[in-house]
Amino acid sequence: MLLEMDHITKKYGDFSANRGIDFSLRPGEVHAIVGENGAGKTTLMRILYGMEQPTSGTIRIDGKEVSFSSPLDAMKQGIGMVHQHFMLFPSFTIAENIVIGSEPGKSVRFDRKQASAIVQQLCQQYGMKVDPEAVVGSSAPGVQQRVEILKVLYQGAEVIILDEPTGVLTPIEVQELLSAIKLLTKQGKSFILISHKLNEVLDVADRITVLRDGAVTGTAMKGETDASQLSRMMVGRELKELNRTPAAPGQELLALTDVTLRQKAGKPVLDQVHLHVRAGEIVGIAGISGNGQSELLQVISGLLQPDEGRIMLNGSEITGQSIRSIRDQGLAHIPEDRYVWGANREATVLDTGLMGHQRRLQTRGFMKQKDIRQMVSRWISKFSIKTGSLSTSTQYLSGGNLQKLIVARELEQDTPFLIAAEPTRGVDIGAMETIHSELLKRREQGSGILLVSSELTEIMKLSDRILVMFEGRIAGELRAEEASEEKLGLLMAGGTIG
C-alpha cells in the first residue's frame, strides 16, 4: 500500500469527529470518501495533511510510520491538498501562484520567464492547459482548480487530496477535471476524493469509503455499488422520492423589463433582460458561470443598481431601492456565496440565524432571546446542522452546515418571493433532499421562487420553467417537460434550438 491510516480517532473534548477509521490508498488509485456534512471526512484529511493531530492512530507511507505536525511535513512526504475554497492569490499570475514558495531565480530576484516556462512544461507533462501569464482573479473557477492541482504537482505530490473539487464548476469544467484525474492516475498519481456528488464519484473512483457519524459504514469497489446503496450507507435510511405536483401559477410577483447593467468600459453585463416569476412556480436560471447570473441576482436584491430598465416586486417598483426596503416588500434571498453574502465568519450560530429576523424578534428595543434560541434550535434539528452550540462561531462550521443554516434562515422569512442561489452547494445528499422538499413546499404554498444553480440536474428537477443566460441576455426558455441537458447545454454555449 502507498498510504495507510489505521484506527484514526480525533476527539474535541467529549465529541469524536473520527472514531477508529481505517483507510488506505494504492499507487495510481482514486479512493473516494463520501458522507454527510459532519461525518468526519474533512477532519480525516486535515489529519493526513498535518493540519490536525490525531488523538490516536497511526499513518504509514510505503509501510513506514510517519507523523505530520504541519502541512509542510505532509508535502515533504509527497502529499498535497486542494482545498474546497481555493487558496490562491487573486492579484498574482497563474505562474506566480504555482511556483510560490519555490520560486525560480537567483538570490532574491524572481525569474518570471523561467516561472512561465516551468508552468508550460507542467501543462504539457500533465495535459492541463492554463495561461501562465493570466491573472488568477480574472480566471474562471475551472482554471483556478487546474492551477491548484498544478501547484501541488509542482511541489512533488504523489498523493493529491481533492476536497469537494467540483462545487463551483460548470458541467463542462467538471468533465474536464474528471478527465484530468483519470489521466494523472495513468501517470502514477494517486487521489483521495471527497465529494457529495455520487455520479462523479461512481465515474472516477476505484474504491469508495462511506463515513457516518465519524466512523466507516462500508467500503465498495467500483462496479460493486450504485448511488442508491451509497445513499443508504450515508444517511442510514432510504431517501424519499421528491413529490413534485404540477404548478398552478398565480399572480406575477417579480417582473424585470429591459434591465441593463453596464461595466465601467460600457459593455453590458446584463443586456435588456426581460423575465417574470409568478406565485406558485419555480423559475430556474441555467448558464455557465460569468454570463450575468450573479449580477442579475444582485440587481434584483438591491446590491447593484441597474443602468436601465424596471424591476417590479409584489406589485411595487423596487428599481434603485435599498436592500432593506426590497426585503421589506417581500423578498428573501439564499445567496450564492455563503461566506461573502450570507454570513459573518466571526458571528455565532445564533447571531447568523437571527440576521434578517432581528426587527420582528424584539420588543421595545430588547431582543426576545428565548424566541430566538428556540427558532434557531428548531432549524438545527430540522436540517441536521452539526454544531457544538448556539454560541459557536460560524467559522468553525463546515461549509455544508453553514449552508443549511442560511437556507433555513431565509426559508423562515416566509416571504411571497424567494431567490434561491445555489441552495444545495456543498451539502450532503440528505440535506439536499430536505432543501428540495422545502422549496417545493414553498411553491405549493404560493411563493414564487427564482432558482439559480450550476447543477443542471437540480434545475431540471425543481423548475417549472427554465431560462438560460448567455453573455448577459436570456438566450432561451424551456418548459420543464421539454428540457434536457443537451438542449440546455446548447443554449448555455450560445447555440440555438431549432
- Answer yes or no: is 432 within a domain: yes
Q: Are residues 478 and 431 in the same domain?
A: yes
- Answer yes or no: is 76 within a domain: yes
- Answer yes or no: is 171 within a domain: yes
Q: Are residues 263 and 203 in the same domain?
A: no
Q: Are residues 413 and 273 in the same domain?
A: yes
Residue 163, φ and ψ in degrees, nearest 5: -100, 105
- Answer yes or no: is 242 within a domain: no
Q: Are residues 334 and 468 in the same domain?
A: yes
In which region does residue 104 sit, left (phi positive, over 0), alpha (psi from -120 to 50) or beta (all else)? beta
3 pLDDT tier (thresholds 50, 70, 90): very high
Residue 352 burial (C-beta neighbours within 10 Å; 0-12, 13-18, 19+) = buried
Q: Lowest-confidence range among 32-41, 157-166, 230-239, 442-451?
A: 230-239
Domain with 164, as residue range(s), is 3-235
Percent with pLDDT over 90 in the chain: 56
- Answer yes or no: is 375 within a domain: yes
Q: What is the largest CA-CA distance in the chain?
A: 71
Find the angle CA(364)-CA(370)-CA(371) to the nearest 5 degrees. 75
Rounded to an integer, what distance in angstroms lies between the CA atom of residue 126 and that of residue 449?
A: 43
- What pTM, to 2 d.p., does this model score? 0.72
pLDDT at 301 over 90: yes
Q: Using the structure block, give the residue that is written with the C-alpha cell 427554465.
A: 466
Q: Using the structure block, give the residue that is written with the C-alpha cell 431567490.
A: 419
Residue type, 397: L
Return the CATH number at 289: 3.40.50.300
Distances (CA, A) of 198 to 15, 164, 259: 28, 12, 38
Closest listed residue to residue 327, CA positions, set 358, 350, 348: 358
- Answer yes or no: is 243 within a domain: no
Q: Are residues 274 and 325 in the same domain?
A: yes
Percent with pLDDT over 70 in the chain: 98
Name the domain count of the chain. Answer: 2
Altogether, the residues listed in the chain come to a count of 498
pLDDT at 369: 86
Instruction: Note whether 166 and 177 are within 8 A (CB).
Output: yes
Rounded to an integer, what distance in angstroms lies between the CA atom of residue 221 and that of residue 233?
A: 14
Higher pLDDT, 490 or 280: 280
Report how far Cα 117 is from the mean position of its chain's Cα atoms: 33
Q: Using the structure block, give the residue that is written with the C-alpha cell 434578517.
A: 356
pLDDT at 83: 85
- Answer yes or no: is 440 within a domain: yes
Alpha-carbon radius of gyration of the chain: 24
Q: Using the structure block, give the residue that is written with the C-alpha cell 455520479.
A: 199
Q: What is the pLDDT of residues 371-422, one digit of tens each?
A: 889 999 999 998 888 888 899 988 888 788 899 999 999 998 889 999 999 9
Distances (CA, A) of 182 to 9, 11, 78, 118, 298: 31, 35, 19, 23, 38
Mean pLDDT of the chain: 89
pLDDT at 39 over 90: no
Q: Are residues 256 and 229 in the same domain?
A: no
Higher pLDDT, 101 or 402: 402
Single residue among 235, 265, 292 that ends a domain in this structure: 235
Q: Are residues 355 and 444 in the same domain?
A: yes
Instruction: Note whether 174 and 140 are within 8 A (CB).
Output: no
**Exposure class string for 216-240: b at 16+ Cβ within 10 A, else e:** bbebbeeeebeeeebbebbbeeeee
Single residue among 184, 207, 235 that ends a domain in this structure: 235
Q: What is the mean pLDDT of residues 352-377?
A: 84
Q: Are residues 35 and 78 in the same domain?
A: yes
Instruction: Note whether 427 and 398 are within 8 A (CB).
Output: no
CB atoms within 10 A of CB 453: 23
Q: Are residues 271 and 148 in the same domain?
A: no
Residue 393 burial (C-beta neighbours within 10 Å; 0-12, 13-18, 19+) = middle
| Cell (9 digits) for 159 | 498523493
Rounded to an integer, what distance in angstroms lies between the CA atom of residue 410 and that of residue 395?
A: 19
- Answer yes or no: is 240 within a domain: no
pLDDT at 170: 67
Q: Are residues 224 and 292 in the same domain?
A: no
| Cell (9 digits) for 332 | 428573501
Q: Are residues 288 and 207 in the same domain?
A: no
Q: Are residues 392 and 344 in the same domain?
A: yes
